[in-house]
Structure 1
Amino acid sequence: MRCFDHVTRNMAASDTSKSSGEDRILEPLCFPEHQPGNSSTPSLQHPSGEMLVCLFCSESVPLPQKDFLLRHLLLDHKLVIADIKLIADLPKYMLYWKGRFLEQPVTDFCSVIKTTSAEKEEHYFLLCDVLPEDRILREKLQQKRLEEVLEQQQRERDDHSFHRLCMFCSEEFTGNRSSLLNHMAREHSFSIGLPDNIVYCNEFLETLQNKLDSLQCLYCEKTFRDKTTLKDHMRKKAHRRINANNREYDRFYVINYLELGKTWEEVQSEDDREMVDDDDEDWSDWRAHPVSAVCLFCDQQSETMDQIYTHMKESHGFDLHKLKTDLNLRFYQQVKLVNFIRREIHQSRCYGCQKKFDGRDDVLHHIVSKDHVMKLPEMSVWDQPQYYFPTYENDALLCTLSDSDEDSGDETKRREDVPVIAEDISSLRALKKNSILNQLLKNRGSCC
């Protein structure tokens, strides 16, 4: 099912389509990670002025605007390309399949996903590497990209016309790039890695220099009022390093080009596993990464669930525990209620009276001023199967919900005594009005 898991990853997370006259969330949203400098994984493709062509018509866009073409393929031609970020050379990939689709019908290559609604039946097409021809093409493009990167790296090794100033002391360096990189590591405790591990070095250094010129810390990426304050911050906080979680830097390291579909972390972890003695594993110093829950109404995050519940109650007047008790909500009803409120606020609509606003700030002001914080619509409005699906797929608040306020060590046994009552699934037809993703999820068994 890996191919299906990435079906909608090609779309922007909060993108909405107006073709049907209403909002449609194309993919579950994600809260920003509670770590500095973390961003979505960018393509490893070197910046290019090449054009991307549609596989079926004359539509074309510049490579940096690929999301527009992917949206066009989905909405106008009902086609999705799986694992788009793993394609090493997207323009060549698109040209290849455009030619093949001219020779043979799309059904000869793509998995067909059937979606049905009260109005009509639609077919979506999934192009993925389950097809041997597609897999071979992706591997060839990856190999070609690796060869280009290694050739570029060799040119940089042999280049003695390198000329740059140190970012920290303005000392001038000419000749080979390694002299500057070694100087920054030795004299300023700032290392971006061994010279032989880096490619597109000039562009890498220019990217770092631009951040410093913008008074931005290279590690936490906070902005400061002047250079003196920035230098003191980076020295005192030991922030003279780049953030490994910032995927902007991935394309400057050769390791990220070595294996199709694997990041440097995955490649490195495989190397580490080969050196580990399975009989002598020590997990005593392992620490789980804290999970932060986000408030329903603002951007407040907390690693303690009691704190986030207290915050919502004291800052916004919203008491989820009281609603659960007053309405006698079961676990899955709580899940649907949280997802319903998340979605309504994301779409700038009051969950109490269903009034639509221009933005989130407007709807939150309305909810408070009209005392709609604890006002819910009829249960039939939100107690719907469509709200089983999370609005934000990393919503840690959902993990804190329970059937009872009391913590019990025998939770499994208590839940076994609760009868499971099937819901009326006729309302699933309404999913088409909300999300293409939900249509595809109903039929995911036919994708592979």
Structure 2
Amino acid sequence: MAAIDSCDDGEGHILEPLCFPEQPEAEAPYYAGACRDDGGAETLSCLFCSESHPVAHKDQLLKHLLLSHKLVIADVKLIADLPKYLLYWKGRLLEQPVGDFCSEIKTNSTGPAEKQERYFLLCDVLPEDRALREKLQRKRLEEVLEQQQKERDDRSFRRVCVFCNDEFAGNRCHLLNHMAREHAFNIGLPDNIVYCEQLLDTLQDKMANLQCLYCEKTFKDKMTLKDHMRKKAHRRINASNRHYDRFYIINYLELGKTWEEVQSEDDRELPDDKDDDWSDWRACPMSAVCLFCDHRRHTMDDVYAHMKEVHDFDLPRLRAELNLSFYQQVKLVNFIRRQIHQNRCHACQDKFGCRADVLRHLRQRRHAMTLPPPRTWNQPQYYFPTYENDGLLCALPDSDGDGEDGDGRAGEDGVPVIAEDVMDARIVKENSVLRNLLRNNT
């Protein structure tokens, strides 16, 4: 989910999840008829007022919900039909207050009361929300399977090959098999594909624009493009390109899972004598990014050394001198990340035009190791990572106890922290729906 910031000037809001560029940028999700030719007529309605936006401009509505109503919806990209999801909750919030359904987050909790703000998080930790998401996912899967069956039975298909002038009629499988056999371009079994016409339109447009179908580089003429795709073995679709996910039925099977995750699952039971065999285990290397620049290393010692040598910032020293607990380290890292992302000096809060100016200021003023008062950065909103894939957070030492009660339910300052699989009933209002559900389950 997006990190939430509450600055007086309104410029500090981070409205979208940030991600380091180690992964390809995700394409728009395939929900709410993303593959249907409905002309974008469907709209998204605000849960609290009459404002609405087209599905294509969902970010505007999410921004409105955050700034005007202090509401964040978790994992929006995983919701199969966002218009129906919003319509359902709009009706429920007419019946009961938002606090009965949502987790509450209070910012600036140690500051003056007039500067405190309350935000609400609507997520699938609530069983009702989870059930709704799964129902929408099943409905979407039914629609896609119905569409796929129509395409499989369609005998009126007529199309010219993307790579040559041969025309095929009768059924889509003839063209797809021809592309695989004659042009070594295999996009998978025809029965695994849905919205085939739109997939072929996408490929045709790229070829017409002299764009490689795999790496998407553009070339000066068709002959150069063909030579490139042949020599580089680029006669295929890039599996990492999320734009193509909508055309494969496997991506609609399970809520929140990509084709890679579904494909990697192995439900076969291993023999008893091999259950404990970990000989084929291969750990994925985790990398971390410097707090101030894009420098990346696979070991924390290298990252710490880089920050100390290049930016005069010594995180282990700060941790020792200030006796920072694990949760305080998390909040400090997220605070600095956010300030640097917004081109601010984390020490004096001066604003600059670009990151290079910030780094120059930090070096000249020696502000790297200077921290503002704890009330500025030791705030609950900095539990939320500024970057979703921040490896630095995963490697912070946590051997000092950190004031936890044994299951990760409370931070060092007594502020409740909800673990991924634990819902702490102590932070739920006495008369809320969540409270009742917890009681019924115990």
Offset from partner CA, 1:124-160 (integer Å, 9 cap, x none): 5554556665555444433332222122112212333
CA distance in 1, matches of 2:209, 2:296: 28
**Structure 1 residues 258 and 343: alpha-carbon distance in aligned structure 2, compared to 1, 3 A threshold:** closer
Q: After alignment, is 205-214 or 131-140 more displaced?
A: 131-140
Report what 2:252 is aligned to.
257
**Structure 1 residues 295 and 134: alpha-carbon distance in aligned structure 2, compared to 1, 3 A threshold:** closer
Report what 1:55 is aligned to.
47
Q: Kindly indicate whether the alpha-carbon contact (under 8 Å) linking 1:55 and 1:98 is maintained by their aligned counterparts in 2.
A: yes
Report what 1:437 is aligned to.
none
**Structure 1 residues 279 and 240: alpha-carbon distance in aligned structure 2, compared to 1, 3 A threshold:** farther
C-alpha deviation, 1:287, in angstroms = 2.8
In percent, how many aligned pairs have the same letter?
62
Q: After alignment, is 340-349 or 160-169 more displaced?
A: 160-169
C-alpha deviation, 1:88, in angstroms = 2.3
**Structure 1 residues 378 and 38: alpha-carbon distance in aligned structure 2, compared to 1, 3 A threshold:** closer
Is the counterpart of residue 64 in structure 1 residue 56 in structure 2? yes
Report what 1:156 is aligned to.
151
**Structure 1 residues 382 and 298: alpha-carbon distance in aligned structure 2, compared to 1, 3 A threshold:** farther
C-alpha deviation, 1:355, in angstroms = 2.5
Offset from partner CA, 1:238-267 (integer Å, 9 cap, x none): 333323333222221122223344433444
> 5+ residue gaps in structure 1?
1-8, 404-411, 429-440
Q: TM-score, normalised by structure 1?
A: 0.71
Report what 1:406 is aligned to.
none
C-alpha deviation, 1:114, in angstroms = 6.4
User: What is the SS of the residue equivalent to 2:268?
Assistant: helix
Report what 2:418 is aligned to.
none
Offset from partner CA, 1:165-219 (integer Å, 9 cap, x none): 3333454333321112112222333222111111111111222333444454444
Q: Kindly indicate whether the alpha-carbon contact (under 8 Å) linking 1:215 and 1:227 is maintained by their aligned counterparts in 2.
A: yes
C-alpha deviation, 1:60, in angstroms = 0.8
CA distance in 1, matches of 2:161, 2:239: 22
Report what 2:428 is aligned to.
446
Is the counterpart of residue 110 in structure 1 residue 97 in structure 2? no
User: What is the SS of the residue equivalent to 2:311?
Assistant: coil
Q: 1:241 aligns with which of 236, 254, 258?
A: 236
Q: Kindly indicate whether the alpha-carbon contact (under 8 Å) linking 1:44 and 1:251 is maintained by their aligned counterparts in 2.
A: no
Offset from partner CA, 1:380-409 (integer Å, 9 cap, x none): 469953467643342234556679xxxxxx
Q: Kindly indicate whether the alpha-carbon contact (under 8 Å) linking 1:109 and 1:127 is maintained by their aligned counterparts in 2.
A: no
User: What is the SS of the residue equivalent to 1:344?
Assistant: helix
Is the counterpart of residue 184 in structure 1 residue 184 in structure 2? no
Letter in 2 for 1:44: Y
Q: TM-score, normalised by structure 2?
A: 0.72
CA distance in 2, matches of 1:143, 1:191: 29
Q: Kindly indicate whether the alpha-carbon contact (under 8 Å) linking 1:197 and 1:253 is maintained by their aligned counterparts in 2.
A: yes
Report what 1:45 is aligned to.
32
Higher relative contact order (CA 8 A, sep 6+): 1
Q: 1:294 aligns with which of 263, 266, 289?
A: 289
Q: Kindly indicate whether the alpha-carbon contact (under 8 Å) linking 1:78 and 1:125 is maintained by their aligned counterparts in 2.
A: yes
Q: Kindly indicate whether the alpha-carbon contact (under 8 Å) linking 2:3 and 2:384 is maintained by their aligned counterparts in 1.
A: no
Report what 1:407 is aligned to.
none
Q: Kindly indicate whether the alpha-carbon contact (under 8 Å) linking 2:29 and 2:78 is maintained by their aligned counterparts in 1.
A: no
CA distance in 2, matches of 1:336, 1:129: 25
Is the counterpart of residue 29 in structure 1 residue 18 in structure 2? yes
**Structure 1 residues 309 and 264: alpha-carbon distance in aligned structure 2, compared to 1, 3 A threshold:** same
Q: Kindly indicate whether the alpha-carbon contact (under 8 Å) linking 2:186 and 2:236 is maintained by their aligned counterparts in 1.
A: yes
C-alpha deviation, 1:51, in angstroms = 1.0
**Structure 1 residues 379 and 101: alpha-carbon distance in aligned structure 2, compared to 1, 3 A threshold:** closer
> 5+ residue gaps in structure 2?
35-39, 405-410, 416-422, 435-442
C-alpha deviation, 1:23, in angstroms = 1.0
CA distance in 2, matches of 1:125, 1:107: 8
Q: After alignment, is 175-184 or 324-333 more displaced?
A: 324-333
Is the counterpart of residue 274 in structure 1 residue 268 in structure 2? yes
Q: After alignment, is 276-285 or 90-99 more displaced?
A: 276-285
- Number of residue-to-residue matches in the alignment: 404
Report what 1:357 is aligned to.
352
